[in-house]
Amino acid sequence: MKKYLSIAAVACVAFLSFTRFSSPPSRHRFLYVAAPGIRNYLEYGGHGLLVFDMDNQFQFVKRIATAGLDEKGQPSNVKGVAVSLYTNCIYISTLQALQCLDLQTDKLVWEKKYEGGCDRMSISPDGKTIYLPSLEGDDWKVLDARTGEVLHKVVTRSGSHNTVYGPDGKKVYLEGLRSNYLTVVKTSDYSVTQAGPFFNHIRPFTIDSRQERCYVNCDSLLGFEVGDLRSGKMIEHVDVQGYKQGPVKRHGCPSHGIALSPDEQELWLADGFNEAVHVFSLKGGKARQMQTIKVREQPGWITFSIDGKYALPSTGEVIDAKTKAVVTALKDEKGAPVESEKMVEVQFEGGKPVKAGDQFGIGRVKG
């Protein structure tokens, strides 16, 4: 009898061990930060793709070597970063080219230069299509994400700059830094409509998950405006209260950086001159200024973790979105501060990317 019990006990232990080790591995979150992500300034993180462990207090994990050198062999400004789960790749645009890196091997798949240069691109929700703006030029190139082949061109002659693909994949939102209008492209036939005019030339912007509202930075404005994407009209103008507008180091724009919390209850706004991030409540349908968070440098971008727990300004602080407290700051392998306007969250299971965030702080209510 004891012999059979012993055999049963061994079998039970073996079953439990098999169950424990053969169960699906847990999901792990990483923040990918492209550098130089503030102009070509190497003091903010050097050159490469820096990876931080979001589940371990944003500790530095590794630096992935990247392409993106100019004609003198020096690292070129990174202009944008985006992820495709269809190709399992992360894409980095520089002034001259777009590069594609495999997220599982960290190897460069391809790098291609495009006529007119490159700016901040966006990838379709299915991961198959990229809208790539020329460098403050006339057009956006529509690319095959797998090969980089140009499929179409959308010509706006607006100073092509920032790009947001709508969550439903049916529309893409294009910002030209010489235009007071936001261009909206229907992806099925490339037809174009506009929203605006806004206070001044549009700079960074974001949209809600239902694609009913856009929130835009404008030249000469310490604040933001809200557009109704259904009617195409500007519906709200918001000035930051209690802070003076002054000169900024970069972008020539008082507020260059705007993000919705994923639950769309708050809007976070960059303030370069005052080295701060202002938080607004959007509850009740109107923006109400709530709180200001000081940061260590002049912010030029803001995004969020997918779950909305952390706000991530380009100055490198990691801010608890609920308490508004700075919980840590990004540091490289040598302990030096890391700053970048080009960062994106990627989640892995079993070594494979399974979910990705966005370089823009877009609404995620429906997601």
176 in a structural domain: yes
What the block records as the tokens of 57 is: 């207090």
pLDDT at residue 367 is higher than 60: no
Torsion angle of the four alpha carbons 184, 342, 324, 53, in this order, in degrees rounded to the nearest 10: 130
Task: In whole angstroms, give the CA distance from residue 43 to residue 338.
Answer: 8
Across 4-18, average pLDDT:
40
| Whole-angstrom distance, CA of residue 137 vs CA of residue 117 | 8
pTM: 0.93
Q: Is the pLDDT of residue 24 over 80?
A: no
Cβ(32)–Cβ(353) under 8 Å?
no
Q: Tens digit of pLDDT for each residue in 43-87? A: 999 999 999 999 999 999 999 999 999 999 999 999 999 999 999
User: What's the Rg (C-alpha) of the chain?
Assistant: 22
Sheet strands side by side (includes 171-176): 160-165, 171-176, 182-186, 192-195
Place of tokens 């439990």: 16
SS3 category, 356: strand
Higher-confidence position of 4 and 258: 258
Residue 108 lies in a domain: yes
Contact 336/296 with Cβ under 8 angstroms? no
* Distance of alpha carbon 7 from alpha carbon 35, whole angstroms: 58
Query: Residue 122 belongs to a domain with what CATH number?
Result: 2.130.10.10
In-domain check, residue 4: no
Backbone angles phi, psi at 4, to 5 degrees: -70, -35
- Inter-residue contact 110 to 148 (CB < 8 Å): yes
DSSP-derived 3-state class of residue 40: coil
Quick check: is 16 in a domain?
A: no
pLDDT at site 2 = 41
Q: What is the pLDDT confidence band of residue 8, given thresholds at 50, 70 and 90?
A: very low
Burial of 15 (0-12, 13-18, 19+ CB in 10 A): exposed
Mean local confidence (pLDDT), 13-20: 37
Q: Is the dihedral of CA 277, 360, 114, 141 positive or negative?
A: negative
Domain that holds residue 129: 25-356
- For the chain, what is the mean pLDDT? 94
**How far is Cα 258 from Cα 270, in angstroms, rounded to an integer?**
6
Is residue 19 included in any domain, yes or no?
A: no
Q: Which residue is it, tokens 């703006």? A: 133
Beta bridge partners of 51: 32, 62
Pairing of strands 343-349, 160-165: unpaired
Task: Flag whether 139 is in a domain.
Answer: yes
Q: What pLDDT was estimated at residue 57?
A: 98
Q: What is the dihedral of CA 184, 187, 188, 189, to 10 degrees?
A: 60
pLDDT at residue 147, as a whole number: 98
Domain count, the chain: 1
Q: Would the pLDDT of 268 be above 50?
A: yes
> What digits encode the pLDDT tens for the residues 313-338?
999 999 999 999 999 999 999 999 99
